[in-house]
Amino acid sequence: MKICRLSVMRMANYTDLSAQLENPMPHPCDLELGQVFYTRGRQPSGLCDSAWATLSPFVMALGNGATGLYDGWMKDPASAMVSCNDGFRPVSFLVEALDGPAIRPIQPEDIDQTGDVYCAAWQEAYPGMAGESDSAASSPERCRKIAREWPGEVFVAELGGKIVGFCRYGPSRDEDRKGFGEIYAIYLLKCAQGLGIGKRLLDAAFRELLPGPGVTVWVRKENRPAIGFYEHCGFRADGAEKTFCLGKEAAVRMVWHSREDLPWPI
């Protein structure tokens, strides 16, 4: 099934009707104009039941290859414009079936967008925390500067013409792991998680780093989702720890040794 992108295009709010007919609600709608969700047929996190009930038939149809709904209703035949069924504050979504994701080496024109992904993904993973240097991840401009100076190679994940994640990799920087490859970082927007894109990025990096004795990655100790992801991909903590400048918190080193541990072919 294809990935579908759900983009918030318009938000209305009929306050006169709400005042006349609706019981007070503390948080009637938490969506924001321009907000994006990606799905392969499952209700995305953060999308209410009411909106999903309206959108899901179109997601299932477009995701399974249907085009030209309602006799050519849309200019793009693999899309639909659908509003949720909230009569007080309807939200209009553009639903698009996408090709991809495309995993490819970064290009010069991708740098700024990749820096923006770094900024957004960092803030989603560590809300309120500083970035790599003097609150780097608190500013898209600083993240773009950092992206221009990254060591190693970079693969990006592009979905519907937008970069949603990236993987940096290269030779291990640890003296006791000379000859190993290293995953320097994988960042993926929260809205694009759970679609297998992280594994696709890791796969691309592995194809460049192997053959070799193994691959390492340093992971923040409190980042249990990331540790779980790497464990699922065959990495195991080897007992090494160090303190990053990132918030002065500990990180653990995880190591991958065996092709038999990798859940997809190289």
In tens, the pLDDT along 94-144 reads: 999 999 899 999 999 999 999 999 999 888 877 766 444 445 556 888 888
Counting residues of the chain whose pLDDT is more than 90, the rounded percentage is: 70
- Domain residue spans of the chain: 4-97, 102-261
- pLDDT tens-digit profile of 24-79? 877 778 899 999 999 999 999 999 998 999 999 999 999 999 999 999 999 999 99
SS3 91: strand
| Cβ(123)–Cβ(139) below 8 Å | no
Cis peptide before 108 (omega within 30 of 0): no
Starting at the earlier edge strand, list the strands of the sheet with 36-39. Answer: 36-39, 4-11, 91-97, 79-83
* Contact present, 163 and 110 (Cβ < 8 Å): yes
What is the third-level CATH fold of 102-261? Aminopeptidase (3.40.630)
What gap in Å lies between CA 220 and CA 237, rounded to an integer?
A: 12
Q: What is residue 134's predicted lDDT score, i.e. its pLDDT?
A: 44
Rounded-to-integer distance, Cα 33 and Cα 238, Å: 45
